[in-house]
Structure 1
Amino acid sequence: MRGRASVMTAVAAAGVLALTACSSGDDAETTSSASGDAAPAELTPVSVQLQWLTQAQFACYYSALDQGYYEDAGLDVTILPGAVDIVPIDVLTSGSADFAISWVPKVLGAIEQGAAVTNVAQIFERSGTLQVAFADSGIESAADLAGMKVGSWGYGNEWELIAGMQASGVTLEDLDGGSTVQQAFDMNAFIAGDIDAAQAMTYNEYAQVLEVVNPETGELYTEDDLVVIDWNDEGTAMLQDAIWADSERLASDEDYAASTTAFIKGTIEGCVFAKDDPQAAADIVTAAGSTLGTSHQLWMANEINKLIFPSTSGVGHINEDQWDATVAMALETVNPEGSTIITTEPPETAYSNEYVDAALAELEADGVDVMGADYAPIEVTLNEGGE
């Protein structure tokens, strides 16, 4: 669900799901062969490293692959699911993938340490991170976290929480225990009462709570049983899922630069498909190997759409104000060790709208709605256990 940091030395071949777009003789783009016969156009092979396991968080990519959008763009795409010990940017910089999906603040730190990578498309315009508490906890905002047991996954996922507390005058030392509680990648400790406010993504852990039976009512927990601190509302949201490319290859390899635009184009088409038919997108991800329950997968697809649509400037365009805000917080937010995410402004190569804007122009010329101004989420009913 997110890039959990632990240094990776190689991408293991075993257990990695590789989904490859294929062309058929009937409907593939064709070029003329030397003999004059029509031959299938050659597709350019590229790979993308996700930051977590196969799930609807990545519905844009799986939908683009399934629906042939990558193939239409001239690409043969392999999707590499993530894992707890895979750092997407490490995979990209090692040359084991052509693109990587990762959160911006995490990559800013890697760039300062020497990673030559560029954000070429900001797929998520909004943050999906919440801090969740029970409605009777007395917690309503970040300012109320003082004296509470506050959970966090760590590994770079804690920055919005810390920034939100700092903006509200709450330090880590003000928390019960003097720091955050190390939270597992689930909501078990929260439901058991061991954590007062737990970290959750709108599209995953928050739903996990709503899939559990409330022992006091015998029914599933409802949103009325909970209170959420949304960092978008608190003003400390940071940019999350973005497509990252190799900066040096972009500058020196025209074919790679062209493939970058093509990959973004296909991905945006996948996002539009998932917006228009979240159930189909959820089914595609399930068929690709996700083990999440049916209702949970649909919830995730629906919530992911909310992070993308409606788009302010076109899906993937990197809004300068959001980039600058994320950088500013990365320079100011202090972690438990007393250091900030970065100590200096990132280089100009840290992001570029050149490739995404080219993709958006092509899509708009084709009549694709890249803004989704009329987007409205669907209603999803969660079942116990997400089934």
Structure 2
Amino acid sequence: MWLIFLDLLARVSFLFSLIGSAVILLYNLKIYYISYLSLVFVLFIGVLIKRRYKNLVFLPFLLLLFIPVSIYEKLFLLILGGLTLFLLYTQRDVTYGLVLEHFNKTYPIALLLFLVTFIMRYISTSKFIVLESVVSSSLLMYFVSSIILLRTLRYLEHKPEDKNLMSLNIRYALAVLIFSMFLSIPFVRERLFWGVSYIFSFIYFIFITIISVIFIIIGYVIGKIIYFIITLMANRGLIGRSSKEIMNINPELNKFLKFLWERRHITSDLLDKIIIVSFYILVTVTVILIIYWVMKRFYRTYKKEENYIEEKEFIFPSLNPIKVIQNLFGRSNLNPIRDYYRKYLLDSRDMGVDIRYSDTTYDVYKKTSGLFNDDSLKKMRNIYIEVRYGFGKITSELIKEFKKLYKSLNK
């Protein structure tokens, strides 16, 4: 249920952003964030109802009639509610391949909408405020829900038997999603940014205090050193003991000190700017290091969970450029296994299974597990992945085993 909700949330958020941007830019319609939250709420209730009473799934969408907004915004909300209801009725299964295909087609448009919102800052302030508060927030939910869904489905594809860890992963994903939803609310975001700004100012004050103490200590030490050197030079008769004699002996030094004294305010401003720039550089470097550390940990985990990149198997031989190249330069041991796997795909298609280009091996396995011997399907998939992505040595015994498993599919 949660996977279906995440998939629908991503699609509805994208539609809301796309259609909302169009009506705001073309008709100058004011849309409030309550419209998006209302749409997400009725979608969630609809997903819950669909589990038991599919024919009553339209009931929560009637609540959209009572949302306290203007007539034109209510018309906009009802149109989106109708599209959401259609998506909810027609939603069946959620697969990694289909979600990835939808994301690859929609994310360039989403990035373009972000760019349009940024440009409107310099063209129309009123439209920018609406776009920034409503459209950008729904786009944020689109990206968050899509990425969480893709990662969850990818993990499910690799470890479908680990139900406990899978449940924990989904709860973690929903927690991130709820936090992102609260973050997308303009009022919450403004208060959060105010808190971050306050913390930033406090850290800056501590930084300046520490720098000031360090400079005071350094200045005190340097002053003692200079006093010791001057005293030593005076004892040896190199300079006079009065400051007047020193200035008479060092006229250039006298001019330089007067120059610094006359420009002490400029020097102070310059020092302040240097300290501020240094602080921002320090904060930026710290943030970059934190991001690098998080991404490094994520990459290591990703490599452990995903040790191969799923590719698609060609169903039609005439459209398979890999097979043409292999026929020209020789036949490898991988071909028999791929040929029998293609036969399995063709058999599945002949039995009415909707095999799509975006389907991965796990998607195909889920669609055909009720038609063939489940144990043989699992072993065939494991062997195919092992030899297709170069994790195991291809032997004649392995090819014979794969052929034997293919022949036992209907038993």
Given the two structures, how large is their TM-score scaled by the length of structure 1?
Answer: 0.23
Give the number of the structure whose residues are more often strand, by fraction: 1
Point out which structure has higher relative CO (alpha carbons under 8 A, 6+ apart).
Answer: 1
Given the two structures, how large is their TM-score scaled by the length of structure 2?
Answer: 0.22
Which protein is bigger by CA-based radius of gyration? 2
